[in-house]
Amino acid sequence: MTSSDDLLPIGDVAARSGVTPSALRFYESIDLLRSERSPGGHRLYRRNVLRRVAFIRVAQRVGLSLDEIRDAMALLPADRAPNAREWARISRSWQSRVDARIATLERLRDDLTGCIGCGCLSLRRCRLYNKDDAAAALGTGPRYLLGNDPEDVADVAESS
């Protein structure tokens, strides 16, 4: 049984975590968090939920989907705060995702004035670098910003 000193009302969790009560209720509805109920039916959270909320917020900033976050949290103990080894195991699994995001942000920083959308801001240049929208064969979105370059477009054209 949990001591009442170990339980926090939703307003306290919201204030301490920086997440709105509605977000906490949403996280609970999709099984990211669990609460207990007071005799009056109010949500009460164990203190370790603060670490879980921090985990959710960081995971979202890394770019993980809520489904990915739920999968990661399923590997953590539900009845206590995870220890350092358990957190480290989860964070190691994000390493390649964080590295890819850093690489994308560096490309954005380096090419911001010349590469938005399909790869450039000039229709004249687009006709040279992305003739007939050939970059679309590489996938959706701003292909050059996401890491492709004109040589990749040429490789796809040659293999077609």
111 and 88 share one domain: no
Residue with the larger pLDDT of the pair 3 and 86: 86
Domains in the chain, number: 2
For residue 96, what are its two tokens?
């390649």
Does position 13 have pLDDT exceeding 80, yes or no? yes
151 and 121 share one domain: yes
Residue with the larger pLDDT of the pair 2 and 58: 58
State the pLDDT at residue 21.
97
In one letter, which amino acid is 12?
D
Residue with the larger pLDDT of the pair 116 and 20: 20
Tens of pLDDT along 102-151?
Answer: 887 887 777 665 555 555 544 445 555 566 677 777 777 777 777 777 77
State the pLDDT at residue 1.
45
82 and 11 share one domain: yes
Q: How far is CA 1 from the centre of its chain?
A: 34
Own/partner pairs, 23-31, CB within 8 angstroms, 24+ separation: 24/53, 27/53, 27/56, 30/66, 30/70, 31/70
86 and 103 share one domain: no
State the pLDDT at residue 152.
76
11 and 87 share one domain: yes
Helices assigned H by DSSP within 30-149 = 49-62, 66-73, 84-93, 95-111, 123-129
CATH code of 17's domain: 1.10.1660.10
Tens of pLDDT along 24-77?
Answer: 999 999 999 999 999 999 999 999 899 899 989 988 888 888 998 998 888 888
19 and 64 share one domain: yes
20 and 88 share one domain: yes
Q: Which domain holds residue 87?
A: 4-93
Does position 85 have pLDDT exceeding 70, yes or no? yes
